[in-house]
Structure 1
Amino acid sequence: MNGITYVRGDATAPHAKGVKIIAHVCNDLGGWGRGFVLAVSRRWPEPEAAFRRWHRERARNDFGLGAAQFVKVEPYVWVANLVGQRGIRTARSTGAPVRYEAIDAALGLLAEEAVALGASVHMPRIGCGLAGGSWGRVEPLIVRRLVERGIPVTVYDFGA
């Protein structure tokens, strides 16, 4: 057992008491419009608006691979935009856009925020959808960065 709780359900509707952070992986092009972000945007407009502003103003902030942005969407719910994907997959792409080292760095920032807020972390299988990553490579990063620090983590597989 690795300390991660796996459930079927919607990661945008976490079942936990207290402060919750919903984490997902974003690309470094500022694109938002496919994959899990659509579910996030259906629930709250703030994470998309904040992400687009963060990207647009990147010359004056920390936007880039390995960065993390935390957006409060409800009194006890935050969304973490983790930049862990180089570009996007296109018809002419070769290789997956996932960047494991960037996901690892962003998870480190997520851990700091979760500890500061006393929050649990909720996510889909980050980096394994449109980013094309392998859960076998992402899961150990989550265990090392979050679980080993005592942060409760729930991973949601969408479905009934």
Structure 2
Amino acid sequence: MTLLYATGDATVPASAGNKLIAHVCNDRGGWGKGFVVAISRRWPQPERDYRTWSRTPDFQLGAVRLVQVETDTWVANMVAQRGYRSASNPTPLRYEALEKCLNDLAAHAARLNASVHMPRIGCGLAGGSWDEISPMLDRALTSAGIATTVYDLEQPTR
């Protein structure tokens, strides 16, 4: 299986069957910029659950929590960003935490017999490098036979 790329909205996956929509969250409980805005426009549950979860002891880097938003669709909140991007924290993405999240995501996808859909996680507000992240997706997801699609809103310039 290979990583698939599509132009479109990752909150509207174009596939049949069970689907997991994955994205990276910060470890501060903040929600309101980036891809989460699109998630909140479609469903209120992921933000509500994230804010509640952020006040519990199991909310930490490397943690994943699924929130069911439709009969066949879950949003995977993956905590892989330490704080917020700033001059003193130019890359808040923590690659080790993301790797753990992706391995857990793969287990959830296998259990649910679900495909995985996402924007270019970790590359926006989290400041990560797609050259480092895409091999992680291959190791955790596609090598395990999990259909995985990465969505760009517009065709990326390469």
TM-score normalised by the chain length of structure 1: 0.94
Equivalent runs, 1:23-102 vs 2, <5 Å: 23-56=22-55, 58-59=56-57, 62-90=58-86, 92-102=87-97
- Counterparts of 2:16 and 2:89, CA distance in 1: 42
Bigger Cα displacement from structure 2, 113-122 vs 2-11: 2-11
Secondary structure in structure 2 of the residue aligned to 1:65: coil
1:68, 1:109 within 8 Å by CA — same for their partners in 2? yes
**How high is the sequence identity, in percent, across the aligned residues?**
56
1:21, 1:77 within 8 Å by CA — same for their partners in 2? yes
> Does 2:156 match 1:156?
no
For 1:3-22, what per-residue CA distance to the aligned partner results, in whole angstroms no more than 9, with x for missing partners? 01101000000000000000
For 1:93-134, what per-residue CA distance to the aligned partner results, in whole angstroms no more than 9, with x for missing partners? 343101000000000110000000000000000000000000
Number of residue pairs matched by the alignment = 155
Amino acid at match of 1:41: S
Amino acid at match of 2:123: C
Q: CA RMSD in A?
A: 1.1
TM-score normalised by the chain length of structure 2: 0.95
Structure 1 runs of 4+ off > 4 angstroms? none
* Aligned counterpart in structure 2 of residue 142 of structure 1, from 120, 137, 141: 137
1:10, 1:159 within 8 Å by CA — same for their partners in 2? no
- Counterparts of 2:131 and 2:154, CA distance in 1: 21
* Aligned counterpart in structure 2 of residue 129 of structure 1, from 124, 135, 143: 124
Q: Which runs of 5+ in 2 are unaligned?
A: none
Secondary structure in structure 2 of the residue aligned to 1:88: coil
Amino acid at match of 1:44: W
- Counterparts of 1:93 and 1:35, CA distance in 2: 20
* Alignment correspondent of 2:9: 10
Q: Which runs of 5+ in 1 are unaligned?
A: none
